[in-house]
Structure 1
Amino acid sequence: MLVGAGACSTASSDTADESARGKTVSGKVIPVVAAENFWGSIAQQLDGSHVHVKSIIDNPATDPHDYEPTAADGRAVATARYTIVNGIGYDPWADKLLSANPGNDRTGLKVGDLVGVRPGGNPHRWYSPADVRKVIE
């Protein structure tokens, strides 16, 4: 859970850029990487200035099933302190990014595992208010 993980911050864009590279600024900003923008948006809304959220897929027209991650995506995941991926076969590339650089101090959330939906099930969990509440909690 991210809520309350950091102290108040008045992060500038330079500070946010530093935190995105994995450098916390006085321990106040936590770099978070979300595979998709809907989960990234929730993390940003929950923790505001306490986090710098990078959503790998931030364009709603991009198909996560066919996405090919970039080197920059790999760097973002490698320096993240917290990751959020959908799972359920929706973003199979995300597991590859996570396993390429397993972080000892990184916490990960796989939505499918949290809500008990296995690969092959309906991956569109952001449409389920009950599942979104579980992610928020």
Structure 2
Amino acid sequence: MKQLLHTLLQSLATLAFCAGSVTAFAADKVPVMASFSILGDLVRVVGADRVTVITLVGPGGDAHVFEPKPADAKNLLQSKLLITNGLGFEPWVQKLVKSSGYKGPVIVASQGVKVRSMLAAKGNGTETDPHGWQDPTNVVIYARNIASALGKLDPAGAAAYQANSEAYVKELQALDAEAMAKIAAIPADKRKVITSHDAFGYFAAHYGIKFLAPQGGSTEVEPSAKQVAELIKQIQKERIKAVFVENMSNPKLLTQLSKDAGVTVGPELYVDALSKAGGPADSYLKLMRHNVTQLVVGMKQN
């Protein structure tokens, strides 16, 4: 009995140690790090049970203002692959790679996407719009790039990764057709939306919606009083009722703007990050369906 109790206590101690460990990689799976939560979801779908994924910027996190911590560098060193969005979305990645000493491959999931431009965060000229995942036809490219990268890293699983990505492509195509039908039912002159920061460029172009944002492309830069005043005039002139704030933005600005313009802020949208597990947008597919549903409801009120 004493021996049995001793063995049990040893097992519990081991479990407690593992639970408190910095890294969460499983020993029998390919360790992959993704830069942010949406990308992490895509890697999990394509990699399935052959990979373990850790994301740097988790659900609800803001990649625009993210600062890597020592634990992130330690986890990166234990990874065999780092997958990023690219397009300037993660300006801190190269510094993290260098400081951590990571020597493995770094894959840009957006490689091959037709890049759009957006107004620069500080209002001077234009810059690359990094939010490529807002168009599900771009996510088809993301999924296939991820499958290719995983296949090179783990040749024994290459066929499985390709099959997983192609199955997911069918889900993305079904999502896109569903979204297109719902938005097409809204008259073109009503397809106008106010959001807190300019992250819907790809979505807008693909679905034929006009988005206006007081904060520009980055959550780091506050709009001027003049920009806000001009937007209020436009809201009132065009009678825009579809006003939304994103899950990783400070709602104070848009709440004040909507109050001054006499409109009500709609439900939260998910743009640069997933919701936490169990939330309305804890996967990319759920995120897109949630956003489309809320945007359609809002635009019908215009």
TM-score, normalised on structure 2? 0.34
Deviations 1:2-38 (A, max 9, x none): xxxxxxxxxxxx6xx79845x743xxx1001001010
- Give how far 1:56 is off: 0.9
1:115 is aligned to 113
How far apart are the structure 2 equivalents of 1:72 and 1:18? 7
- Relative distance call for 1:117 and 1:97 in structure 2 (3 A) is farther
On the 8 A contact 1:33/1:53 being kept in 2, the answer is yes
1:76 is aligned to 75
- Relative distance call for 1:99 and 1:110 in structure 2 (3 A) is farther
Q: Which has the higher relative contact order, 1 or 2, with Cα contacts under 8 A spaced 6 or more apart?
A: 1
What are the equivalent positions in structure 2 for 1:1-137 lying under 5 Å apart?
20=24, 24-25=27-28, 29-60=29-60, 62-100=61-99, 101-103=101-103, 106-115=104-113, 117=115, 120-137=127-144
How far apart are the structure 2 equivalents of 1:57 and 1:87? 14
Q: Could you say what secondary structure the match of 2:141 adopts?
A: helix
Identity of aligned residues (%): 25
User: Which protein has the bigger helix share?
Assistant: 2
Q: Could you say what secondary structure the match of 1:34 adopts?
A: strand
- Give how far 1:86 is off: 1.5
Q: Could you say what secondary structure the match of 1:96 adopts?
A: helix
- Give how far 1:84 is off: 1.0
Q: Could you say what secondary structure the match of 1:115 adopts?
A: coil
Rg: which structure is higher?
2
Deviations 1:84-127 (A, max 9, x none): 11222221112211233231xx2221134443649931111111
How far apart are the structure 2 equivalents of 1:102 and 1:118? 31
- Give how far 1:68 is off: 0.7
Counterpart of 1:32, as a letter, is: V
User: Which protein has the bigger strand share?
Assistant: 1
Q: Could you say what secondary structure the match of 1:87 adopts?
A: coil
TM-score, normalised on structure 1? 0.71
4+ aligned runs moved over 4 Å, structure 1 = 17-21
- Relative distance call for 1:112 and 1:46 in structure 2 (3 A) is closer
Structure 1: unaligned runs, 5 residues or longer = 1-13
Aligned-residue Cα RMSD (Å) equals: 2.6
- Give how far 1:59 is off: 2.4
- Relative distance call for 1:24 and 1:58 in structure 2 (3 A) is same
- Relative distance call for 1:114 and 1:94 in structure 2 (3 A) is farther
